[in-house]
Chain A
Amino acid sequence: MTLRCAIVGSGNIGTDLMYKMLRSNMLELIALVGIDPESDGLARAKDNGIEAPHSGPQWVIDNAADIDMVFDATSAYVHMRHHADYASAGITAIDLTPAARGPKVIPPVNLYEHLDAPNINMVTCGGQATTPMVYAIRRVIKSLPYAEMVSTVASRSAGPGTRQNIDEFTKTTSTALREIGGATKSKAIIILNPAEPPILMRNTVFAGLPEGSDHQAVLDSVHEMVDEVARYVPGYRLKNPPVVETGPFFTPGGEVPHRAVVLLEVEGAGDYLPTYAGNLDIMTAAAMRVGEAIATAKSTVPA
């Protein structure tokens, strides 16, 4: 079935998501909702014949009868204020902020586990880029005592929401590396780089490998997972082949003899911001994947 959707937040993420949704035959975009009538995103929505109110989340609540699903691309604080309203209005919320109210979903790891949840959290762009790698490593070794990710995004692709939410970004990402990736301990780091021309989004995953880990299996599993993510994020790729380095390394999860290093790059599809903004793309592509999976599930299971 086709689900009627609204996007709240007319910044970088919301506008990029709009372009993706306009191409979908399962998600029908009803409105892009903002708060600033002058915003570029709202103007682009109107150009595409999409309703573009600027009355914020309240517009979604007021029009709940016509909306099945809301994609929240505002900020963690705004989502925390409104998530309960969406739920009581019977609207499924796909949360693209790091508010982390509902279960976290990383499509290639746990897409089908939470399709009936009223609120689904898309973690962060860095979390979408790196959690699959942590999971890919974890699934072929007996335990993963510690994993770490470093995300570097072009300054120009980090809007005010990201900048004001930087602690929420690292906390939510780090939690995903444990809860979904399977690491016992974790850390997330984000860097903004102002280089011109802007750099493509870079993500690095470090994983502590315990004694006796099968290094070839780790590398093979990483390659397989890269292919899987690239199926819905075409610009997702390894910048260099993954490597296993020799330590010892004294991680917060204990001493390990080796670490795996996975160096990733994400080139955006250029739907809204130029291709350097892979951080937008991976987030919106993952959210689309979840939205369409819910639409598919609703058409196969009678209500």
Chain B
Amino acid sequence: MTNSSVDYRLIDSTLRDGSHAISHQYDEDDVIAIVRGLSTAGVQVIEIAHGDGLGGSSFNYGFSKVDEKELIARACQEAGDSTIACLLLPGVGLADDLKDVKELGVGMARIATHCTEADISEQHIQMAKKLDMEAIGFLMMAHMNSPEGLVEQALLMQSYGADAIYIADSAGAMTTEDVQRRVSALVKALDIPLGVHAHNNLAMAVSNSIAAYQEGAANLDGTSAGLGAGAGNCPTEILAAVSNKYGIETGVDALKLMDVAEEVVRPIMPRQQVIDRAGLILGYAGVYGSFLLHSQKAAERYDVPQAEILMELGRRQVVGGQEDMIIDVALELARKHAEANE
């Protein structure tokens, strides 16, 4: 559990959120190299699953190249002193999936819902506790709910038995002030620790994470080289380096994390994690980061501009998991463009 000698606990999600950026094509060698590197660098918790959580392999989100449970088993074998965590979205994965991964050696379950729908997590948080796992309630797309609204949702998860709560800026849409207001309200209201999961679409991931720590967050997420949905996550090696500059004790070796990012993760990245137009629009329009590559594919398939697809999805207030709406919007735009050209 939480190591008291550190100021915040770092949870690395390269093998879960990073899975989005490589279209869920991780294989066993990638998992072994990444887990070994992170564990050696002192990362306390390493999350692994399909990008959309356990059971996410699908037409809608992309099929995993290798069964996630095989990869999770491998991660557990290589974990050393690190805890292996899994993410689960009720509605996508099942409480039964937690039983399977517990047997493989997973010690933490993060149960993720949209930031207004915490009450669908009860079965799953209770299952995690029954299995003696650390259970974290994970509220996604937190920019879409007010500080007061998030408090209400977080208290529900706390009442189901969650050991900690996370808010996720899944669209990378929050300013530092947005983060501060939410974190301070939650820290005040909760009896359990808070964490923040940042994305970099507005180039705010590291500064927002530090701000979250300063407001009282006790857990922070990141991924190696920022590999992740949209314009990527908070890069762990940068977060560790910046934390050192601030004198914040992380318990991880920043130089070793840089080695992992440079020598293990960058070589397998199909594209460098940059904030290009599409990535920026995700943050600007507040659209779920994992829509990036799916919308690129739909834009090519139906010959419509990706930026238009993303802006329309933002207008429709779609939430995480509604990747099918990308096809819906692309078809509608294609029809509109065809009518305009007649």
Which residues of A pack against B, CB within 8 Å?
146, 148, 150, 152, 155, 160, 163-164, 166-167, 169-171, 187, 189-196, 199, 202, 204, 206, 208, 239-241, 243, 245, 249-252, 259, 261, 263
User: Which residues of B, 289-342, contact A by the 8 Å Cβ criterion?
Assistant: 301, 316-325, 327-328, 331-332, 335
Mark contacts of B226-255 with chain A using CB atoms, 8 A cut-off: 1 yes-contact digit, 0 otherwise. 000000000000000000000000000000
Q: B319, A194: Cβ atoms under 8 Å?
A: yes
Q: A192, B117: Cβ atoms under 8 Å?
A: yes
Q: B58, A192: Cβ atoms under 8 Å?
A: no
Contact of A163 among B120, B321, B323 (CB under 8 A): B120
Minimum CB distance partner of B323 in chain A: A150
Q: How many A-B residue pairs have CB under 8 A?
A: 110
B2 an interface residue at 8 Å Cβ cutoff?
A: no
B90 to chain A, nearest CB (A): 5
Minimum CB distance partner of A239 in chain B: B328
Task: List, in ascending order, chain B residues with CB within 8 A of A169's CB.
Answer: 91
B63 to chain A, nearest CB (A): 5
A110 to chain B, nearest CB (A): 25
Minimum CB distance partner of B317 in chain A: A195
Q: B114, A194: Cβ atoms under 8 Å?
A: yes
B153 to chain A, nearest CB (A): 11
Contact of B117 among A155, A187, A239 (CB under 8 A): A155
Q: B317, A166: Cβ atoms under 8 Å?
A: no
Mark contacts of B119-136 with chain A using CB atoms, 8 A cut-off: 1 yes-contact digit, 0 otherwise. 110111000000000000
Q: B116, A189: Cβ atoms under 8 Å?
A: no
Residue among A146, A192, A202 with the highest chain B CB neighbour number at 10 A = A192
Given A155-B117, A240-B331: A164 and B123 interface contact (C-beta under 8 Å): yes
Task: List, in ascending order, chain A residues with CB within 8 A of B301's CB.
Answer: 245
A150 to chain B, nearest CB (A): 5
B214 an interface residue at 8 Å Cβ cutoff?
A: no
Q: B91, A190: Cβ atoms under 8 Å?
A: yes
Count chain B residues whose beta carbon lies closer than 8 angstroms to a beta carbon of A. 38
Residue among A146, A148, A240 with the highest chain B CB neighbour number at 10 A = A240
Given A194-B319, A206-B58, 8 more pairs with CB closer than 8 A: A150-B60, A150-B322, A166-B120, A171-B94, A202-B324, A240-B328, A263-B324, A263-B327
Q: A249, B123: Cβ atoms under 8 Å?
A: no
Q: A189, B328: Cβ atoms under 8 Å?
A: no
B256 to chain A, nearest CB (A): 35
Contact of A249 among B59, B122, B324, B335 (CB under 8 A): B59
Given A192-B117, A206-B59, A259-B59: A167 and B322 interface contact (C-beta under 8 Å): no
Contact of B63 among A191, A192, A250 (CB under 8 A): A250
In Å, the complex CA distance between A163 and B92 comes to: 13
Interface CB pairs A-B, < 8 A, 17: A150-B323, A163-B119, A163-B120, A166-B123, A167-B94, A189-B91, A191-B321, A195-B316, A202-B324, A206-B60, A206-B324, A208-B59, A240-B327, A245-B301, A249-B59, A261-B324, A261-B327
In Å, the complex CA distance between A301 and B235 comes to: 71
